[in-house]
Amino acid sequence: MTRSSSIFLLALSLGGCAAAHTPADFTIIPEPRSLTPGKGGFQLGPRTVLALADGTDAELARLADFWAAPLRTATGWGLPAAEGACAKGSVCLRVDADGPAEGYTLTVTGDSVVVAGHDHAGLFYGLQTLTQMLPSRPDGSAPMKLAAATISDAPRFPYRGMHLDVGRHFFGPEFVKRYIDELARYKINRFHWHLTEDQGWRIEIKAYPLLTQVGAWRKETMVEKNFDPYVGDGQPYGGYYTQDEIRDIVAYAQERFVTIVPEIEMPGHSLAALAAYPELACTPGPFEVGTRWGVFEDIYCPKEETFTFVENVLTEVMNLFPGEYIHIGGDEAPKERWQESEVAQAVIQREGLADEEALQSWFVQRIERFLNEHGRRLIGWDEILEGGLAPNATVMSWRGSDGGIEAARQGHDVVMTPTSHLYFDFYQGDPDTEPLAIGGYTPLERVYDFEPVPEELTSTEARHVLGAQGNVWTEYIGTEDHVEYMVFPRMFALSEVVWTDPEPRDFHDFARRLPWHLDRLDAQGIRYRIPDVVGLARDRLTLHDEIEVPLMAAVRGSIRYTLDGTEPGAESLRYTGPLKVRVKDRPVTVAARVVLPDGREGPVRRAAFARATPRPAALVNAALEAGLNMDLFTGRIRSAAELESRGQLVRREKVASIAIPAAVPDTVFGLRFGGYLSVPEEGVYAFRLTSDDGAVLRVGGAVVLDNDGAHRETSRVGEVALSKGLHPFDVLYFQAGGGMRLKLEMARGDEPFAPLPPDAVWRVR
């Protein structure tokens, strides 16, 4: 699709000579694979009829009614449905089997609308797209105009998921249904329902009534982050879903082509179950349902009574959930109790296992065999890789991308859900101005920037990446409004990541399309986070006395701004076009926010703009060759900044690019990549440094980008003005255990980021 900066949905004029539409007239999310605008359009009104191609197809009739029912309520129009040919003035629905699964075509002309699904799911998704071509608040006061277009669409990935943790905080059946509604509207087809936790067991199991009588309730909940000293609120808390409620929710989801993936945690995160049935532990207890967040040492003991319990629970779970996958967790299972347990050690000896990690693998493989015998597949968090992966298991990679890469290389299917991009319990802005969250920082742009297929994978390995999922953990999310605030609009960005091909995805165009969708949420009373003003994502440099700063509001409202960094309000300067910011004499900090028509104010975003003098290139008299030096350090390294002062140099070697080598110590270590960067022409260059753990970029000995500290996969961006020629630079990296990730990308001006090309890095011969 050709891009445009227009904000509004359908600026149509169907009278007289019909003008050709442009892509700017459409605000569809996720963006279709192909959209060709036409001229004129179709008027949907009180005389419109629904023409069903096959009157014997009951599902076709159901989908027609499903789509028309809310319009009938909003407009009072009849919109009758009947079998018949696609006549003038009709919306025609049919299923054409020829085409990719879940795909559809949608054709709007002046005479009719034709929605043809390649299967019933595809027809459902085509109807969701058709809804997005209507006004966001239909009222029936006048015919609704649909812009003429031909759309051909199908998903990129088969697994498009959203998660909800109801173990830490419980959300009732009606909210779960509303949650599923929103997933379906944006073509998300998997709902990962996290049903059991240390802090609450939320699913009725007939064979074990104490799981809900005891395990579903905790005596109180920790207040905010008062771990030490611990502070509780003194209020009993709990809840669970009956099996009848679950059957109703499962059927509700199926009607919307959403498959529920239930999660029953094992062997860890099982304290609520142990409180109900302490005989399943390796120690005698007693136990109580968790009142604080974190990881608990008491987990299921690998004895026969435990496997009888787990298999009985899973049997009831499988009877409730017809989907192919059963999620068993497998994450954050401390091994201290197994190390001290005669039972666990006897299993290790009997089965010839290497250690407790191998014991967890044996535990998971035994559960997988049970699930496979019942026609189901096991899926678990990436910790199930440790000790050896179960033969047919699918891995959900959350601790960065490494787990997914490793699993795909072993021939296992993968769902990518890394904390770096897809944890929706992370902050969306400044923690001082946001609701309490677990930590981290995942703004809307970062979600949209996610690429599910790691570049390290071959084309064959990449086929194992089924898709991606956004996760909503609820330690610090206790209300329905707060869930919605954390999910929207980040879920919209995810929907485009998993549905639309990576090219030509464009965040600015996505932001242009957002207002229609947020207006619809307003109409439904769904809370969302007002998006940041687009255009102030990072500080910028320029070689000139003035810099142009274009801004965009991704929600209906006015942009208010200041030029001194102070907080803007409704009375501040109103943005009417690109700002001409003069930076000749001093840096300027622009602060901006959106003010909605009802007076609500969005978050403030700031960026500093400054004039820079290009750093001079180095005079290098020595002979150079392509490549870089890589130094490997070991020792008591606690940050990249300490690499050279505290680390011990082990070896130096020549490498072709900046990447973590295959042969490195498996404990703490550090790397220093050094050489010369060849800059093709004078300009401002941006660098994006992604690492797990810390990393620092220096150019000419000065720090340009600081991504230091022990952390999971995180990206930072910085800019520097450089003259044409060679510039000494180095990247310092340290690894503190866990995931390993290091990537440096470069861009000039507003160009997209890309890895440093081989001919850009040089070392002394």
For residue range 145-200, list pLDDT tens digits in order.
999 999 999 999 999 999 999 999 999 999 999 999 999 999 999 999 999 999 99
Q: Per DSSP, which regions of 321-477 are E strands?
A: 325-329, 377-381, 394-397, 414-416, 465-470
DSSP annotation of 132 reads: T
DSSP 17-86: SPPBP-GGG---SSPPSEEEEEEEEEEE-TT-EEEES-TT-HHHHHHHHHHHHHHHHHH-----EEE---
Tell me how far CA of residue 349 lies from CA of 343, 346, 722, 764, in angstroms: 10, 5, 62, 55
Collapsing DSSP states into helix, strand and coil, what is residue 120?
helix
Backbone angles phi, psi at 205, to 5 degrees: -120, 115
Quick one: pLDDT at residue 18?
63
For residue range 70-90, list pLDDT tens digits in order.
999 999 999 999 999 899 999
Q: How far is CA 702 from the centre of its chain?
A: 34
Reading the block at residue 349, the tokens are 């000896």
The hierarchical CATH code for the domain 540-611 is 2.60.40
Q: What class has domain 32-153?
A: alpha beta
Radius of gyration (Cα) for the chain, nearest Å?
Answer: 28
Q: Domain boundaries in the chain?
A: 32-153, 540-611, 624-764
The amino acid sitting at 307 is F
Q: What is the 3-state secondary structure (H, E, C) of 542-582?
A: ECCCEEEECCECCCCCEEEEECCCCCCCCCCEECCCCEEEE
Helical H runs in 471-552?
480-487, 490-499, 507-524
How far is Cα 428 from Cα 435, in angstroms, rounded to an integer?
Answer: 9
Q: Which residues of the chain have pLDDT under 70?
A: 1-18, 666
Q: At what angle do helices 490-499 and 507-524 cross, to 10 degrees?
A: 130
Reading the block at residue 200, the tokens are 């609450």
Are residues 661 and 630 in contact, defined by beta-carbon separation less than 8 angstroms?
yes
CATH value of 624-764 in 3.30.930.10, 2.60.120.1560, 3.40.720.10, 3.50.50.60: 2.60.120.1560
Collapsing DSSP states into helix, strand and coil, what is residue 748?
strand
Are residues 686 and 753 in contact, defined by beta-carbon separation less than 8 angstroms?
yes
How far is Cα 162 from Cα 261, in angstroms, rounded to an integer?
Answer: 10
pTM to 2 decimal places: 0.93
Closest CA to 222 of 168, 297, 287: 168
Tell me how far CA of residue 43 lies from CA of 144, 482, 513, 612, in angstroms: 6, 39, 22, 55
Quick one: pLDDT at residue 711?
87
Quick one: pLDDT at residue 321?
98
End-to-end CA distance of the chain: 48
Residue 341 CB partners (closer than 8 Å, separation 6+):
282, 283, 301
- Topology alike, domains 540-611 and 624-764: no
